[in-house]
Structure 1
Amino acid sequence: MTRTLKVAVVGLGIGRNHIQNGYRTNTDRFEVAALCDLDASLLKAAGAEFGVERLETDYLEIVGMDDIDVIDICTPPATHKKMIIAALQAGKHVICEKPLVGSLADIDELLDAESRSSGHVMPIMQYRYNDGAQKAHHIIASGLAGRPLVATCEVHWLRGADYYEKDWRKSWSGALGGILMNQAIHANDLMFYLLGPVRSLFARTATRVNRVEVEDCASISVELECGALATTSATLGSVEALSRMRLCFENVTIETDSRPDFTADKAPWRFVPSSAAIGGKIDEALAGFTPPPSGFAGQMQDFHKAICNKTPLPLTLGDARQSLDFATAAYWSAKTYSAVALPVLPDHPFYNGWQNAF
């Protein structure tokens, strides 16, 4: 019999999407048993919509609920660290939206807290659960793709002044970063998922679209540990929103051109083989492969499986640390006009954060 995990969702912006697309698609695995938000009217409306009776504006009340197994944190980034630590100290499992925290020092503190808790932390990186991304990963892992050569990754979205009506999104202290931390973080994580870790990078960032503190444009040249070279660019000033990735391997080119992003239900992924023989092998490999459900549904399903079977989480604090390592190096490169080797070590000037440096 499947064990049902009781969840408290904290923050009812993106948190509503977690409920609708992550938990309501897994009702045999999860029960949303409590909701928390500082906006009492929003909280009441969400409670009525989702049939949840326990409604709290005080996060510590949620942490103190003995029957809650999982706390799903969907609040602004600057609040995450204290909330995660409080939940771990109470022995709760944690699911948390990106960006998890704002420095490598913070993520290392979370790793230490997790090591001393019965709870575990899973960062949200749902782009990995796109059907095409799962198929691409399967082809690459099977060895059929061959050596990776070059890649491009583009996150070209549009965010106007209305997006920044929530003041925390404008500032380094509230958002912890701009497009690298809050929009392109998913696509860059997907690139790491498919190609592996980054060896070095050279980055440029700028604020060109809106009058805010944080960056809204970035261009990064990347060398991966696998030997491939990649470029990633991001802007919040694209009139037509799209996310695009192209991965060139010796045996196949893998490409997706998605509007608006890689989570689109019918996002097209193309697999162009170097020969009919390779194409046949790819078709055969995909014929026997069933990807998990897409987006939040798949990630929450795999989280439940890991918690109940006591197996590794589908995404870990280590994955979140990889994204923070990349961001730290990119911000330092942009500030110093220099190439940066990864990983970033504890004696680095930005190990404790970069938010006061721009």
Structure 2
Amino acid sequence: MLRIGIIGTGGIADAHIRGYLAFPEDCEIVALADVIPAKAAQKAEAFALDAVQAFDDPLTMIAAGGLDIVSIATPPSTHAPLAIAALDAGIHVLVEKPMAPSLEECDAMLAAQERSGRMLSVVAQNRFRDDLATLKDIVDSGLLGSISHVRVDSAWWRGLPYYDLWWRGTWEKEGGGCTLNHAIHHIDLLLWLLGSPSEITAMLANAQHDNAEVEDLSVAILRYERGLAQLTSSVVHHGEEQAIVIQGANARVSQPFSVSAERSAPSGFPAEGGDPELVERITALVEDRVPLAHLGHEGQIGDLLAAVRDGREPSSTGQDGRNAVEVVTAIYKAGFEREFVALPIPASDPYYRAGQLVANAPHFFEKTATVMEAAS
């Protein structure tokens, strides 16, 4: 029975708690911690976790021992020190996205994982969705052919009060805006589907949130071999219509699910009727998939528990988390400096280092309000 501790008891902690509770034969939540006094105890009470020990200091919880896995569900600026402390204490770590605000901090976390021999997994719960796992299977099948273009719409909407929470809306505490903290999900999916790009350029804006330093909109172009991907990161899109559209040499597939395939007429124009046989093959692949047993955070937590039990890597590793932060770093550098950024980003690059992004980031506006708890 694996013993679980959770650091940070805000809204996202609920997904972690429910995820662990879905596997009562494999694990038990024994500790919660939050820096706001009594908040951990209140969360334990809300979930009727009567045997859980509550801490007002996460490091005290780690030092107390008796934990096998720690979930870190705190603001991004705290991820690295907390993860390193847990790993050095011999505890496996599941850390919320984004892994950390800088590549330097990500590498420090990976170094702690290496010397500890423990596991480090970064939350990428959208990999554990049937529709997106289906998209991955289609890409991996090769039926699409070489990839020409990918359009990723990480489209969200947030009102002005969203940035009143004490750690949101500042480069120092949140690490960035929608590119880092919302589109990180879609960036992970893009990397999961296609691997890392070779070059990135981008533009950033704050279109609607004059109470936040950070961007609320960015558009990036990523180069992939002969093809391109475009990524829109936003918290200003009404309707929150998110999509991934993949155009291959042979066919197009998208999420929400849709598939089409053209054939060339002798003139080079699309032949009437397209390629129904290829559409049928792709559709059959989708229909033959076995649905995932557990979804979202629950699916990822189940995978981590199995990885610990079986002595294998989790499906979303620390390196995967770092790769997503590298893309975000390149988008920010490209937007700040108005240039093309080659990947990988070397350790000699100033933007690799912790604090460099904060030092160079534009303040679109200044934060005008601070509350300790988000309104319901």
Is the pair's TM-score, using the shorter chain for normalization, greater than 0.5?
A: yes
* Aligned partners of 2:72 and 2:93 also within 8 Å: yes
- Cα distance in structure 2, aligned partners of 1:41 and 1:271: 51
* Aligned partners of 2:119 and 2:313 also within 8 Å: no
Render the CA deviation track for 1:225-245: whole Å, top value 9, x for unaligned: 4x3211111222223222121
Partner residue, 2:98? 99
Render the CA deviation track for 1:275-300: whole Å, top value 9, x for unaligned: 33223333443344324322112111
Render the CA deviation track for 1:120-164: whole Å, top value 9, x for unaligned: 110001111111110111121122222111111112221122111
Partner residue, 1:89? 88
* Aligned partners of 1:92 and 1:118 also within 8 Å: no
Helix, strand or coil at the partner of 1:238: coil
* Aligned partners of 2:179 and 2:234 also within 8 Å: no
Helix, strand or coil at the partner of 2:245: strand
Counterpart residue identity of residue 235, structure 2: L
Helix, strand or coil at the partner of 1:64: helix
- Residue 48 of structure 1 pairs with residue 51 of structure 2: no
CA gap of 1:303–1:40, structure 2 versus 1, over 3 A, is same
Partner residue, 1:356? 359
Helix, strand or coil at the partner of 2:29: strand
- Per-residue deviation, 1:74: 0.3
Equivalent runs, 1:208-219 vs 2, <5 Å: 208-211=207-210, 212-219=212-219
Partner residue, 2:299? 298
- Cα distance in structure 2, aligned partners of 1:320 and 1:46: 27
- Per-residue deviation, 1:51: 2.9
Partner residue, 2:2? 5
Render the CA deviation track for 1:287-339: whole Å, top value 9, x for unaligned: 44324322112111111111111111211111111112111111111122111
Partner residue, 1:15? 13
Helix, strand or coil at the partner of 2:279: helix
Counterpart residue identity of residue 48, structure 1: E
Helix, strand or coil at the partner of 1:19: helix
Q: Size of the alignment, in residue pairs?
A: 342
Partner residue, 2:314? 313
Partner residue, 1:261? none
- Per-residue deviation, 1:96: 0.5
Counterpart residue identity of residue 327, structure 2: F
Helix, strand or coil at the partner of 1:255: strand
Equivalent runs, 1:221-300 vs 2, <5 Å: 221-225=221-225, 227-256=226-255, 268-274=256-262, 275-292=275-292, 293-300=294-301
TM-score normalized with structure 1 length: 0.91
Equivalent runs, 1:24-103 vs 2, <5 Å: 24-52=21-49, 53-103=52-102
* Aligned partners of 1:164 and 1:170 also within 8 Å: yes
- Per-residue deviation, 1:39: 3.0
- Cα distance in structure 2, aligned partners of 1:156 and 1:143: 28
Render the CA deviation track for 1:31-90: whole Å, top value 9, x for unaligned: 211111123443233212323231111112221243210010001111111101100110
Q: If each structure's strand is expressed as a fraction of its own residues, which one has the higher value?
A: 1
Partner residue, 1:259? none
- Residue 123 of structure 1 pairs with residue 122 of structure 2: yes
Of 155-164 and 70-79, the range deviating more from structure 2 = 155-164
Helix, strand or coil at the partner of 2:358: coil
- Structure 2 spans left out of the alignment, 5+ residues: 263-274, 362-376
- Per-residue deviation, 1:270: 2.3
- Cα distance in structure 1, aligned partners of 2:7 and 2:333: 33
Counterpart residue identity of residue 83, structure 2: I
CA-atom RMSD, angstroms?
1.7
- Cα distance in structure 2, aligned partners of 1:302 and 1:19: 15
- Structure 1 spans left out of the alignment, 5+ residues: 257-267
- Cα distance in structure 2, aligned partners of 1:179 and 1:326: 13
Helix, strand or coil at the partner of 1:220: strand
- Cα distance in structure 2, aligned partners of 1:276 and 1:241: 32
> Which protein has the larger Cα radius of gyration, Structure 1 or Structure 2?
2
Helix, strand or coil at the partner of 1:169: coil
TM-score normalized with structure 2 length: 0.86
- Cα distance in structure 2, aligned partners of 1:134 and 1:272: 19
